[in-house]
Amino acid sequence: MQIIETPLKDCWLIKNSLFHDERGYFLESFNHQKFSTATGWQGHFVQDNQSASTYGVVRGLHFQRGEYAQAKLVRVVHGRVLDVAVDLRPDSPSFGQSYCVELSDNNEYQLFVPRGFAHGFSVLSDKAVFFYKCDNYYNKPSEGGIHPFDTELAIDWQVPLSDAILSAKDVGAGSWADFVAGLQMPST
């Protein structure tokens, strides 16, 4: 297992080792001790989620606010996606920056997305099964979103806009500028 720091502070790419034999392969998908030693992260995962989507589906950019913020460890069980993380932490040196990586059942990569990030993915294969661990429980009143095709963020989802399939929630999500404006405190 290789744990590689991405250009975004506290966001980590995990390249797993596959052990093949005549029966197939074995993969250790997560080891808390190895991960916490390499990254310093001391959290614990409390919820697992899985989704299935078809080509062109774009999910995100989603996040949870306040005490319900979530760190996620994401991977693809079947198919191929472009996974995207955006740093929403105003005090971070990577605030407003995004990181994109292809996750697939061929490369077995995983991405650790820390609390204070927005996350999303686009499906590049005919079908994809996406699995993720969360370190906090989902809370609907605390959910937030940024439109995935926001022009200021300018993320290349590797899916033409004409092929993109978004939920009504994602179509109605606010802009990056709206998110930033909501961070500013009124002057006194």
Give the active site residues: 62, 132
- φ, ψ of residue 5 to 5 degrees: the values are -70, 135
Beta strands, E only, the chain: 2-5, 12-15, 18-21, 24-27, 47-54, 58-64, 72-78, 80-87, 98-104, 109-113, 117-123, 127-134, 143-145
C-alpha 90/C-alpha 87 separation (Å) is 8
Q: What angle do CA 73, 77, 82 make, to 5 degrees?
A: 70
Bridge partner list, 121: 59, 83
